[in-house]
Amino acid sequence: MILSKLPTELLIPIFHYAAYEDDNFPAIAAVLCRRWRSLALSERILWANIWLSSYYPMQKFKLWTQRLGGLQVARRITISIPGRILRASQSRGHPVQMKEWIGMLEILSRRDFAIESFHFDGDPECLESLDYQMGGFWCEQIALHFGQVSPESSSWYCGLSEPTWPPEIPPPTSHLHLPRILSLRGARLNLSAQDCLTQLTTLELLDVPPGALPSLRGLARFLGRLDSLHTLAIGHSAGVLDDTSYPMLPHMSPLSTRSPVRRLHLSGCWPMELFMREISFSNLESMVLDHYPHDLTPIIYAAHRMSYNFRRICLSNCNFMHPDIRHAFHPASWLHHIDLIETNLDAIPPSFVAWLFYDRAKIPDLQEINLYHSSGIMETFSADMRYQMKEPYIISTSGECDVESIFAQTRALYMDRPILRCRHPRTPKEEPDPTIISRLSSSLLHPAALLRKLFHRRPK
C-alpha cells in the first residue's frame, strides 16, 4: 500500500482529513497496523472525532476522552442509532446497552467541552429523546439524517407529519451557537425559524419527503435572506411533481430574489425550472443536476444567463431530449468543465466535440469534457492549448471507472464537501459481550475505500 511508504509529515495531515470526513477514522487507524496505531495515539486531537452506535457508547467515549489526554478541544460527534437498534438494546437480553446510553447521555448533559459538529442518523423519535437528555446539540455544523419512521415507533409519533427542523419553538438565539452548516435528510425545513439560520454558509435539503418541499416563493425569500450562503443542495426523494403545483404568480417579476450561492446541487423530480426563475444566482460557479427526468436545457441556459462565473456543470442520470445535444448548452458560455454521468448518450458525438473545441467562439474556455457510462466505460476529451496553436489539440482517452465513486468524487469537487453518509450498525444479537476493541474492529466500514478517496481526490 502506498500509504505505508509515506513519511509521517504527510500521514498526519492525511489522518486529519480522513477524521474530518469520517468520525470513526481514529478507530480505523488504531487497528490497521502498528505504525498507524502509534501515530494515531500520538496525534491526540484526532480523538476529538467519535462515532457512537449501539455498542458500548459510554465506554468508547471514555476511552476517546482518555486518549485526548486532557486536551480541551471541541468534539465532532456522530450518533448512528436507528430505532430498531434502540429497541433491541432495550430488550431483556441486552440491558447493558440501555445502561450505556443512559450513562452516555448523562456525560453529554454535564459536558465541559464544546461540540463543533453533530451528525445524527436514525429515527426522528430517537433524536427528540437525545436532544432533551443531552441538553441540546446546537453547534457550528449540524447534520440530521432521518430514515422512514419505523412502524414500531410510538403510536403517537407515527401519526405526526414529517420530522421538521429547527423546532417550532427553538431556544432563544442568544443562548445558541448558530449553525453555519446544516444538512437535513428526510426532513422538512422549518422556514419560520429563520432567525436561527441567518449564519448559514452551507444548506443541504436531501431526500425531501413527498409533500414536504416548501413553496418555491417561500423558499426563494428564505434563501434571499441568507447573506453568507455559498453552497446549496436540494433533492426531492420521491413522487412526481408537475409545474402546476408551484404556479408563477403574474405580478412576480422573474429573478426578483438574489442569492450569493456559488455551488448548487439540484436533484429529483420537482419544478427546478420554476425555481431557477424565482431566484437569481449571480455568483454561481458550479452546478450539479441529478436525476432530473425533464428537459434540462432551460435550467442550463438560466445558469448561463445569471452568472459570468459559471465554470463547471455535472449532469448525472439526466436525459438529453434533443438529438443534437448542442442545443442543451449556451453557445456563448464560460464553461471550463463538463461532466456527463450515466446520461442517455452512448458516446460523445464527434460533432459535439468539434463544436465545443474547434469553434472557440462558442465555448472559448472549455478545458475538459468527461462521459461516464453505467457500464463503467469512460471517455475524456481535453484541449491542449499550451503551444498557442490556432486550433486546439484534442486529447482523447478512454477507460473503465466505478460510476458511483466517480459521482461521489465529482459532487465533492463541485460542492467542496462530500455527501455525508453514516454507517448503520447491526442489531445486537444474543452473543457473549465482546471487548471494545473487537467491536471497533468489526464496525470498520470499507477503510480501503476511504483511503482510495483520499488519494484520488482531484485538485481544485
State residue 85's pLDDT score: 52
pLDDT tens-digit map of 222-274? 999 999 999 999 998 654 444 444 444 333 445 568 999 999 999 998 889 89
**Chain segment 339-394, per-residue pLDDT in tens:** 999 888 877 787 777 777 776 667 778 888 898 988 888 888 887 655 455 555 66
DSSP symbol at 136: -
Q: What whole-number distance in Å separates Cα of residue 23 and Cα of residue 342?
A: 31
The pLDDT value given to residue 364: 77
Q: What CA–CA distance (Å, rounded) separates 190 from 129?
A: 20
C-alpha cell at 396: 482523447
Average pLDDT, the chain: 78
Whether residue 295 contacts residue 269, with contact meaning beta carbons closer than 8 Å, is answered with no
Q: Where are the domains of the chain?
A: 336-417
**What is the spatial distance between Cα 229 and Cα 250, in angstroms, rounded to a whole number?**
28
**DSSP-based three-state secondary structure for 144:** strand
| Residue count of the chain | 460
State the Cα angle at 401 between 396 and 407, rounded to 5°: 100
The enclosing H or E element of 206 equals: strand 202-208
Report H helices in 1-56: 8-21, 25-32, 34-42
Spell out the residues 6+ positions from residue 73 whose beta carbon is closer than 8 angstroms to its own.
Answer: 45, 48, 113
Strands 393-400 and 181-185: unpaired
pLDDT, position 360: 64
- What is the number of H-type helices and E-type strands within the chain? 15, 18
Query: What per-residue confidence (pLDDT) applies to 379?
Result: 86
Q: Which residues of 339-349 are buried (b: 16+ CB within 10 A; e: fewer)?
A: bbbbbebeebe
Judging by beta carbons within 10 Å of its beta carbon (0-12, 13-18, 19+), is residue 201 exposed, middle or buried? middle
The span from the CA of 63 to the CA of 48, in Å, is 11
The model's pTM is 0.83
Tell me the CB-side half-sphere exposure of residue 81, using CA atoms within 13 A: 24
Give the residue ranges of the chain where pLDDT is below 70.
1-4, 82-96, 148-162, 170-175, 237-256, 332, 359-361, 384-394, 420-460
